[in-house]
Amino acid sequence: MTSIRNALTSLADMFAYPLRHSHYLELVNPLWTEHVLKARVVGVQDETADTRTLTLRPGRGWRSHRAGQFVRLGVPIDGQRHTRTYSISSAPAREDGCITVTVKTVDGGRVSQHLARRVVVGEYLPLGEPQGEFVLPESMPVHPLFITGGSGITPVMSMLRSYVLEYDVIPDTVHMHYAPHVQDVIFGAELGELQASQKHYQLHKYYTRASAQEASVHFSAQQLERACPDWREREVWACGPAAMLDAVEAHWEQAGLARQLHTERFHAMVAPLPGAGVKAGRVWFAASGVQAQSDGATVLLRVAEDAGLNPPHGCRMGICHGCNTTLVSGCVRDSRTGSLISEAGDTVQVCVCTAVGDVELAL
Ligand code: FES
């Protein structure tokens, strides 16, 4: 059967040359294409004043995600295609085959503003494959501890929904969640329902701007001891602002329990800039024929975008390799580690690398 289908596909491609038959299918229904994966927006729902959930129906070729993974979403704005990475907030086993992503607007963030304010039902958005290691183990863990802040709730929401959908019950779980105010808690009503209906699910909410009390801290040892006295025995998933994750990582590191901790960051960790080692210079984007000035501290993706280019990219934090290009000459610094890349032909992730003096990239 497969070989007959393959033969028919090859025949159709022959007639469609120089395109593929999939390009013509795209005109009928963008979800039928094989050369590019797309999703149709089938629902939009406001979660808080600055957060919106998009329900997406992925097209042919989508493979189901694992709870906690993220996807790259293409966002066409004014003829330019931008790409951003969002955690999937829905459970993998949804009956309707749809997924949800929950987008929080970022101040000055053109793409997040567009997704959370202007995208409407019926639009088609390019979609990537699910990715990421911030996932639950295949078998149900006995004692999870979730620590989330702000929109860091989204991958964990996928995990909680996945428990309910697959097992009907959430196992013995402690969840510490941080938000500025009560009205900023994303999925607040659903979390409340879980708290009321799932007897092993303990939710502790901290409003970081609602009082001058201890709660204003994003994670502390005291909060942890109070909410989860048996934290040493639990496997931990933490996602949220960098300050919260730094504090959580330091705490588990100090306890010698770092192996029990899984974290997901929204931004790459950066090494301190080497002071005298920062060198401004010119950046030559060879394939684009564009030259730009770099201050030695701005990542090359931003340098390219500020020069009017629109290089392919995804996560903007060094995970997906969607921004990889090749070093032609010069030297760049990986801002996460401080290490230098100066061998012509080496791969450069422009979203996390800065120029050190004059640089030429294949881009
Ligand atoms: S955009 Fe994902 S690694 Fe650079």
Inside any domain, residue 21: no
Which pLDDT value is given to residue 259?
A: 94
Instruction: Say how many domains are in the chain.
Output: 3
Inside any domain, residue 16: no
Inside any domain, residue 135: no
Residues 149 and 252 in one domain: yes
Residues 97 and 181 in one domain: no
Residues 170 and 235 in one domain: yes
Q: How far is ligand 1, taken at its centre, from the CA of residue 326, in Å?
A: 14
Residues 257 and 170 in one domain: yes
Question: In this predicted model, what pLDDT tens digit does every residue of 80-121 receive, in sequence order?
Answer: 777 788 999 999 988 899 999 999 998 878 888 999 999 999
Residues 290 and 242 in one domain: no
Question: In this predicted model, what pLDDT tens digit does every residue of 207-240 receive, in sequence order?
Answer: 988 765 555 678 999 999 999 999 999 999 999 9
Whether the CB of 351 sits within 6 Å of ligand 1: yes
Q: What are phi and psi of 77, to 5 degrees?
A: -130, 125
Q: Which domain holds residue 288?
A: 275-361
Q: How far is ligand 1, taken at its centre, from the CA of residue 316, in Å?
A: 5
Inside any domain, residue 1: no
pLDDT at 19 over 60: no
More confident residue, 282 or 270: 282
The enclosing domain of 250 has a CATH number of 3.40.50.80
Q: How far is ligand 1, taken at its centre, from the CA of residue 169, in Å?
A: 37
Residues 156 and 249 in one domain: yes
Which pLDDT value is given to residue 29?
A: 66
- Name the one residue in this structure whose structure tokens are 């906690």: 68
Taking all residues of the chain, what is their mean pLDDT, rounded to a whole number?
87
pLDDT at 317 over 70: yes
Helix-helix angle 153-167:188-197, to 10 degrees: 40
pLDDT at 343 over 80: yes
70: nearest Cα among 11, 9, 155: 155
Whether the CB of 148 sits within 6 Å of ligand 1: no
* Domain end position, chosen among 94, 126, 158: 126
Residues 238 and 284 in one domain: no
pLDDT interval class at 300 (50, 70, 90): very high
Pocket test for ligand 1, best of 300, 319, 341, 353 (most atoms within 8 A of CB): 319
Residues 312 and 246 in one domain: no
Inside any domain, residue 137: no
Whether the CB of 353 sits within 6 Å of ligand 1: no
**Chain-centre distance of CA 310, in angstroms?**
19
Which pLDDT value is given to residue 50?
A: 93
Least confident range of 5-9, 59-63, 177-181, 206-210: 5-9
The enclosing domain of 325 has a CATH number of 3.10.20.30
Question: In this predicted model, what pLDDT tens digit does every residue of 180-208 receive, in sequence order?
Answer: 999 999 999 999 999 999 999 999 999 98
Inside any domain, residue 244: yes
Please compute the mean of the pLDDT values over residues 21-41 and round it to a whole number. Answer: 70
Whether the CB of 316 sits within 6 Å of ligand 1: yes
Pocket test for ligand 1, best of 321, 332, 341 (most atoms within 8 A of CB): 321
Residues 54 and 122 in one domain: yes
**Chain-centre distance of CA 223, in angstroms?**
27
Residues 244 and 154 in one domain: yes
Residues 160 and 249 in one domain: yes
Closest approach atom of ligand 1 to CA 318: 3
pLDDT at 347 over 70: yes
pLDDT interval class at 352 (50, 70, 90): very high
The enclosing domain of 59 has a CATH number of 2.40.30.10
Closest approach atom of ligand 1 to CA 351: 4
CA distances to 1, 2, 11, 17, 309 from 6, rounded to whole Å, are 9, 6, 9, 16, 39
Please compute the mean of the pLDDT values over residues 64-68 and round it to a whole number. Answer: 93
pLDDT at 49 over 90: yes
* Domain end position, chosen among 230, 264, 298: 264
Inside any domain, residue 27: no
Residues 160 and 206 in one domain: yes
* Domain end position, chosen among 236, 264, 292: 264
> What gap in Å lies between CA 326 and CA 191, rounded to an integer?
46
pLDDT interval class at 78 (50, 70, 90): confident
